[in-house]
A and B are shown apart, each in its own frame.
Chain A
Amino acid sequence: MARYFAGRLGQSILLVWLVLTITFFLLHLAPGDPMARYDDPEMDPETVEMMRRQFGLDRSVPEQYARWISNFARGNFGISLRYNRPVSELLARAVPNTLRLTVVALAVYIILGVALGVTSAARKNSLFDRVGTLAALIVYSIPSFWLALMLIMLFSLKLGWLPSSHMQSIDAASLGALELFRNRAAHLVLPAFVLGVASAAGMARYMRGSMLDELRCDYVRTARAKGLSEGAVLMKHAFRNAAIPIMTIVGLSIPFLLGGSVVTEKIFSWPGMGSLMVESIFTRDYPVVLAINFIVSVMVILGNLLADLGYALLDPRIAYSGEGGER
């Protein structure tokens, strides 16, 4: 197993390098210039030229690439062209915020998706199942930005139950620990729901299908023949098997959650990686875009690796290095 994962690590490093290299050249191919925002009659062209030299933007693209990649390999993410501050410092602030949002969204996604899927499968063709199928299809088809706006209109403007944006209230500094926690939790509800719910709808469909496949198996009949209750048959015997393919889907959906968080963060003014990413692309802040790309690719690969680990954990028939296992 250890050897298998060591091999996977090697592949992963290669993959990250490829992603970053492609992103680097794509960024430089795209029209626009990080210095474009100094196109201002008030600005002294000499100063702009000096800044350009300082950031190394006057050199050829291959030269810039060589400089950037050698710095990057040594863990130096460079300086933000826009904020003139170390990229690592910007990330240190944004990444935890995004993680907080995506982890809660992931929980919404898994809990909602699994619960709906299992219940639908257990009551196949019931009213619950039919309504659930339709609702899942609708939610899955709704663009998340539209859903976000509708929810803000309903819960923030009309009902006034939940805040519409940011991570905490402006007066958060004056709140006690418990109050602060509640304030932040309230701010999380809408964005986490929007981010998680579309994937949850997809998950519910997969989960239902996977459960139904398992419920047709002979071992389910054996479990019933033992005298087990329907609940034990479903949740112990069928679910454990049905969860195996679902692990992959969870792993593969991590990039979608991160991708979705770009839009969601923008709408809810969430000061995370997504907002930073959008802003940096518009201002051609190359080092920041590349660093965020790096973090996202690492997370995607980690998600897949975790899915594989989960696979081995759930399914005793899988042995990654060939020991044991006849089939």
Chain B
Amino acid sequence: MPEELLKIEDLRTVFRTEAGTARAVDGVGFTVGRGETVGLVGESGCGKSVTALSIMRLVTDPPGRIEGGSILFEGRDLLGLSEKEMRKVRGNEISIIFQEPLSSLNPVFTCGEQIREAVALHQKLGRRASKKKAIEMLRLVRIPDPEKRYGSYPHQMSGGMRQRVMIAMALSCQPKLLIADEPSTALDVSVQAQIIELLAELSAGRDMAVLLITHDLAVVAQIANRVVVMYAGAVVEESPVVELFDSPAHPYTKGLIDSLPRLGQRLERLPMIPGNVPDPFDLPEGCRFSDRCRARFEKCATEPPLFDLSGGRLARCWLCEGGGG
């Protein structure tokens, strides 16, 4: 287990709206080690993106609000920092890339300028030095002809190129942690793999930890060391990646893995998890997954804790009580 870089404990983020209070992130906790790649997996709406934004303290307030918990980054609680101190963390020690590279880039500034701006801000470099560094970053993410592309606007680039620009921007200040929120979801299938490979290669080369947020287990299997599975605002399973795919402990994880298409397997239809994600405004009593779970029994009426299954594995299911699988 590598040295701890990020440790989230009992994080609670809510959204207050006229329809009520949505507990989007409800007591989430996990760790990311130095240089480690952790996959944060779950269906849309399970709170994984809100967790990411909470780490950056970029949840829009109102309506969003971080109500409790702690986010320790190198031992410092990010939730206790002033806005000014937090700005020195953002883009510098922790960076984030988003799902939709086109809307995430400012349409009226050149791609190069948007990278240069981050470099100039955190590394206190002048215009010429920061421009040189930005071009270097474009070359690093393998954008052809980086000197020329420095002056291109986002709309003049392809989706894959734009995401490379986002990665270049995020990595420009050598962050210790990169949060990648569905970095390949909005891209063409052929480009997805390239972006994921690029991320894997760059993170390995600079000892950077990655928190990879995705609903795509295939991507996780490709590059993550460890996986955290979220369901309805809570962590339901945590495991090293190989063990997770070999023997998922939580029925929800089993369902997710079973719904993946497999080579050599002939099925008319892929199995799927029945039912829908619970309403965050009105979470069920007891186990959050119980109303969709085929293994449900009496105990599920009370919420299970995260059981420690040894070997770095945790699962929030009564079936795992006493370390059983």
Complex alpha-carbon distance, A240 and B114, angstroms: 14
Which chain B residues lie closer than 8 Å to A74 at the CB level?
Answer: none
**Quick check: is A221 within 8 A (CB to CB) of the other chain?**
yes
Residues of A within 8 A of B30 (CB): none
Q: Is A217 located at the chain interface by the 8 A CB criterion? A: yes
What residues of chain B lie closer than 8 Å to A228, measured between beta carbons? 87, 91, 117, 121
* Cβ A241 vs Cβ B108 within 8 A: yes
Quick check: B109 and A240 within 8 Å, CB to CB? Answer: yes
Per the bound structure, the CA–CA distance linking A228 and B87 in Å amounts to 7
Interface hits, B211-264 → A, CB 8 Å: none
On whether A227 and B88 interact (CB within 8 A), knowing A218-B100, A219-B103, A221-B58, the answer reads: yes
B5 CB, nearest partner CB in chain A, Å: 18
A316 at the interface (CB under 8 A from B): yes
Q: How far is the CA of A225 from the CA of B103 in the complex (A)?
A: 14
- Contact assessment for A227 and B92 in the assembled complex, using a CB-CB cutoff below 8 Å: yes
- Within the complex, the shortest CB–CB distance from A315 to chain B, in Å, comes to 6
Are A219 and B90 neighbours in the complex by a CB distance under 8 Å? Answer: no
Compute how far the CA of A177 lies from the CA of B118 in the bound complex, rounded to whole angstroms.
Answer: 50
Q: How far is the CB of A201 from chain B (nearest CB, A)?
A: 27
Which residues of A are found within 8 Å of B91, using beta-carbon distances?
Answer: 225-228
Query: How many whole Å from A86's CB to the nearest CB in chain B?
Result: 48
Taking the closest CB of chain A, its distance from the CB of B9, in whole angstroms, is 23
Known contacts A218-B100, A222-B98, A222-B106, A316 near B153 by CB under 8 Å: yes
Stretch in A89-97, A133-141, A287-295, A319-327 with 4+ CB within 8 Å of B: A319-327
CB of B25 within 8 Å of the partner chain: no
Please, which residue of chain A has its CB at the minimum distance from the CB of B86? Answer: A227
Say if the beta carbon of A229 comes within 8 Å of chain B: yes
Q: Contacts A221-B58, A317-B155, A325-B155; is A226 near B108 (CB within 8 Å)? A: no
* Interface residue B56 (Cβ < 8 Å from any Cβ of A): yes
Taken residue by residue from 102 to 146, chain B's Cβ proximity to chain A (1 for < 8 Å, 0 otherwise) reads as 011111110000100110011000000000000000000000000
**Across the interface, which residues of B come within 8 angstroms of A222, CB to CB?**
98, 104-106, 114, 166, 169
Distance of A51 Cα from B161 Cα, bound (Å)? 77
A300-327 vs B: 1/0 string, CB under 8 Å? 0000000000000011110000001111
Q: Is the CB of B87 within 8 A of A218?
A: no
Q: In the bound complex, how far is the Cα of B106 from the Cα of A314, in angstroms?
A: 12
**Chain B neighbourhood of A244, CB < 8 A:** 108
Smallest CB–CB gap between A188 and chain B, Å? Answer: 35
Knowing A316-B155, A327-B155 touch, does A241 contact B87 (C-beta < 8 A)? no
CB distance from A192 to the nearest CB of B (A): 32
Would you call B156 an interface residue if the criterion is a C-beta within 8 Å of the partner chain's C-beta atoms?
A: yes
In the complex, how many angstroms separate the beta carbon of B280 from the nearest chain A beta carbon? Answer: 21
CB neighbors of B among A202-237 (8 A): 217-219, 221-229, 237
Contacts of A327 in B (CB 8 A): 155
Report A212 CB to chain B, min CB distance, Å: 12
Choose among B95, B106, B155 the residue that contacts A219 (Cβ–Cβ < 8 A). B106
- Name 23 interchain pairs, CB-CB below 8 A, sorted by A: A218-B100, A221-B98, A222-B98, A222-B114, A222-B169, A223-B106, A224-B58, A224-B90, A225-B58, A225-B90, A225-B95, A226-B90, A226-B91, A227-B89, A228-B87, A228-B117, A228-B121, A237-B106, A240-B106, A240-B109, A241-B106, A326-B155, A326-B156
- The chain A residues found within 8 Å of chain B, CB to CB, are 217-219, 221-229, 237, 240-241, 244, 314-317, 324-327
Q: Which 9 A-B pairs have the closest CB atoms?
A: A227-B91, A227-B90, A226-B91, A218-B103, A219-B106, A316-B153, A218-B104, A226-B118, A227-B87
Given contact pairs A219-B104, A316-B155, a sample of 18 additional A-B residue pairs in the complex whose CB atoms are under 8 Å apart: A218-B100, A222-B104, A222-B105, A222-B166, A222-B169, A224-B90, A225-B95, A226-B169, A227-B89, A227-B90, A227-B92, A227-B122, A228-B117, A237-B109, A241-B107, A241-B108, A244-B108, A315-B107
